[in-house]
A = this chain, B = another copy of it.
């Protein structure tokens, strides 16, 4: 339970003016986030709740599909990055220690997870092994952009899978697409999300897949084929010729701005070879191991969901990620105890509650109701002598009419 009388938050009366980004201004007004420096953020209590709700949805679906959660180190020794020729990438931070030595502040974890998993991946029976973590990543961005969007540090879910054959890998890769669709559905983003064919980047010569959410302020441009719902990142479209859908060969398309929220990469043997990860096949013969990686930008999702659900004055968070389930407004001091009892009852049913028991001057019903809307808590309860006279409280679900409900 969050009791606002003990809570060091004050929402701002007016929205800070951030030139091109209203949703971020609302996040600042509601005190969900504060900037330490460009691309580097503090998540204050309610912002952290949203972030954790997103994290937990991702975690539950990964667990449901038998990926095992681990937590890898933030630092690593430089020599493992030399093995994969990624020691000198400018966008990856080096951290000097004593002497001439450096550590790496990990921007991604292929170099950590591959040696880690080599210990117990020995035979085809260990194929289909999958681990994931939810963790901070660091990127030495020259120009940190668009608030949470291109950060110097950000929270990611990154999963890694290991396979004996290409066929098995492809099967897993398709399976993971389904897991991702399930996550999208719970985050209420599914309707405007497209699986987008993109460049393999430094990871692979094949295409990779991005999951793009259509957003007018997105940094990517995608070519959507409406007959098969496939989409193509601008970078893989041959713009000098006609556009042709790689899947259904359709030539019709529309172009939309979009924001990438996750990606999945076939890594082939790019990382398993340098770390000598091998599997014995059914004939006891050593085989190279095929690897895949599957990212989700957890902190980026918070920003994308905010932008996607932005209304005129607030962000209409989907119920699944809203900072709390209930917001209880107490009007008279004498009802605080009753309100607290009721909040505890809700908590015993695993609901989360914000109790607005601020009694000091100037915080009247108007401000309390206003903060409830600014935070966008889906269920509001008002307790007053008047509602108690009728043996109950006033209950309002977002977008619906208030009613008096008995305790």
Q: Could you say which of A117-125, A177-185, A190-198, A224-232 contacts chain B?
A: A117-125
Is A241 at the interface (CB under 8 A from chain B)?
Answer: no
CA distance A74 to B105 in the complex (A): 11
Contact at A37–B77, with CB atoms within 8 Å?
Answer: yes
Q: Which residues of B contact A10 (CB under 8 A)?
A: 120
Contact at B138–A75, with CB atoms within 8 Å?
Answer: yes
Copy number in this complex? Answer: 2
Least Cβ–Cβ distance between A152 and chain B, in angstroms: 6
Least Cβ–Cβ distance between A381 and chain B, in angstroms: 21
Is A255 at the interface (CB under 8 A from chain B)?
Answer: no
How many residues of A sit at the interface, in one of the four size bands?
Answer: 35 or more
Contact at A71–B51, with CB atoms within 8 Å?
Answer: yes
**Binary contact readout A199-243 vs B (1 if CB under 8 angstroms, 0 otherwise):** 000000000000000000000000000000000000000000000
Least Cβ–Cβ distance between A299 and chain B, in angstroms: 10
Q: Could you say which of A1-9, A263-271, A318-326, A382-390 contacts chain B?
A: A1-9
Residue in B1, B8, B112, B136 whose beta carbon sits within 8 Å of that of A36 in the complex: B112
CA distance A36 to B114 in the complex (A): 12
Q: Which residues of B contact A96 (CB under 8 A)?
A: 93-94, 96
Contact at A68–B7, with CB atoms within 8 Å?
Answer: yes
Is A153 at the interface (CB under 8 A from chain B)?
Answer: yes
CA distance A34 to B131 in the complex (A): 14
Is A284 at the interface (CB under 8 A from chain B)?
Answer: no
Is A360 at the interface (CB under 8 A from chain B)?
Answer: yes
Contact at A68–B126, with CB atoms within 8 Å?
Answer: no
Contact at B95–A71, with CB atoms within 8 Å?
Answer: no
Query: What are the 6 tightest A-B residue pairs by CB atom distance, in nearest-first order?
Result: A6-B66, A8-B129, A36-B73, A43-B71, A40-B73, A10-B120
5 A-B interface contacts by CB (under 8 A): A8-B68, A8-B120, A37-B76, A42-B72, A42-B73
